[in-house]
Structure 1
Amino acid sequence: MAEIEDLQETYPGAGTFQFGDSAETSAALIDLVRNSNKRATCAPLRDFKDDPDSMPVVGRIDIVADWDGHPTFVVKTVRVDEVRFCDVTENMAKADGFKDLLAWRKSTKASISRGGNHDPAMPMLFEFFSLVEDLDGRQIEEKS
C-alpha cells in the first residue's frame, strides 16, 4: 500500500501489524491507544513460530495499520516480556488497555481460543511500546 511505503521512507525498516482479530476489535484498540489507555499488546508465543521475524524486538519501529490496512500510528517497542498466561500481572493487563486482570484474562482467553487451544501455562509475548507518531490527520502522499 502506498501509504505504508511512504511511511517506510520516514521510518526505514519499520514493520507493520494490526491490533485485534476483527474490524471492531481493531478499531476499539486503536481508540485505546489514541486515549493513552493502551501501551502494550500481547500474543501467544506460538503465533510467531511460522514467522520469527515478526517477533517484537526492543527498539524496533512498527507501523500499526487499521483493519483495512491504513496506517494509524508509528510505535517503538520499549520492552518485551515472555510470561505464562497465568502469570500476567494486573499492571500488564492495564498496559494492554484493560480495566483489570480479570477482564484481560476473559477477553484474551476468548481471543486465543478462536485461534487455537488455550492453556493457562501457555507462553505469551508481551510487547510494551511508546507512541512515536499518531498519523490521524497526517497527509500521506499517494504515489502513482
Structure 2
Amino acid sequence: MTQTHPSVREIWLNYMNQEGISETEAPAYESWYFCDNEADADELAQLVLDGVKRATASSLEAMEEGGEEIPKVGGFSVITDWEGVAKCIIRTEAIEIVPFREVTAQFAATEGEGDRSLEFWREVHRRFFTRELESVGLKFHEETPVICETFSVVYPPR
C-alpha cells in the first residue's frame, strides 16, 4: 500500500476493533478520494458522510490502462479527502459495467451528485471521463465502459 495519512490506518483499526476482527484476520482494503480535484473530492466525501452518495462511477479503460484493479463486491475502501485524511469506510455492494450511454437514471440518483438527474450525471461525467481518458492517451466515447459501483458506509457507524 502506498504512503498514506496516519488517519487511514487509525480508522481501519477502529473499524476492525468494532467488528471484533484481529489485524491478522483483517481483509484487504484500499484508500482513495473521489474525482480529480480538491473541491470535488472533499464535497463528494461529505456527500457520502451525509448519506446522499451511495455509488460511484469509474472508467474501465482508464483503470485498466493505469494498472488498477476493478472493484470487487465485498471489497473495502477508506474514503479520504483530497489531503488523504480518512473520512469513512465503504464496502462495495454491487458492480455493473455498462457503456456510458446505458448508465441509468436510478444509478445517477444513487450517485447523489448535483440535482441527482441523469442529465446532470452525464454532463459532469462526460467531462470527467474525457479528462481522465486523455491523461492516459485514450478518447472518451458514448460506448466507454463505465464501472457502476454501489456501496454502503460501514464506518463510522450511523
TM range (shorter): 0.7 to 0.9
Whole-Å separation in 2 of the counterparts to 1:38 and 1:2: 25
Q: Equivalent residue for 1:4? A: 8
Whole-Å separation in 2 of the counterparts to 1:34 and 1:63: 12
Gaps of 5+ in 2: 17-25
Whole-Å separation in 2 of the counterparts to 1:76 and 1:96: 15
The AA in structure 2 aligned to 1:113 is T
Pairing of 1:31-50 with structure 2 (within 5 A): 31-49=46-64, 50=66
Higher mean Cα deviation, 100-109 or 3-12?
3-12
Give the superposed CA RMSD.
Answer: 1.6
Whole-Å separation in 1 of the counterparts to 2:43 and 2:68: 27
The AA in structure 2 aligned to 1:2 is P
Whole-Å separation in 2 of the counterparts to 1:7 and 1:35: 18
1:133 correspondence with 2:145: no
TM-score by length of 2: 0.78
Whole-Å separation in 1 of the counterparts to 2:75 and 2:6: 21
Whole-Å separation in 2 of the counterparts to 1:7 and 1:134: 8
The AA in structure 1 aligned to 2:125 is T
Identical residues among aligned pairs (%): 24
Q: Equivalent residue for 2:19? A: none
Instruction: Decide which of 105, 109, 120 is 1:94's aligned counterpart.
Output: 109
TM-score by length of 1: 0.86
Displacement after TM superposition at 1:47 (Å): 2.0
Higher relative contact order (Cα pairs below 8 Å, separated by 6+ residues): 1
Displacement after TM superposition at 1:93 (Å): 0.5
- 2:125 aligns to what SS in structure 1? helix
Instruction: Decide which of 116, 122, 137 is 1:105's aligned counterpart.
Output: 122
The AA in structure 2 aligned to 1:29 is L
Displacement after TM superposition at 1:92 (Å): 0.5
Displacement after TM superposition at 1:48 (Å): 1.6
Displacement after TM superposition at 1:35 (Å): 2.1
- 1:58 aligns to what SS in structure 2? coil
Whole-Å separation in 2 of the counterparts to 1:5 and 1:63: 9
Gaps of 5+ in 1: 136-144
Q: Equivalent residue for 1:29? A: 44
Distance 1:33 1:109, change over 3 A: same
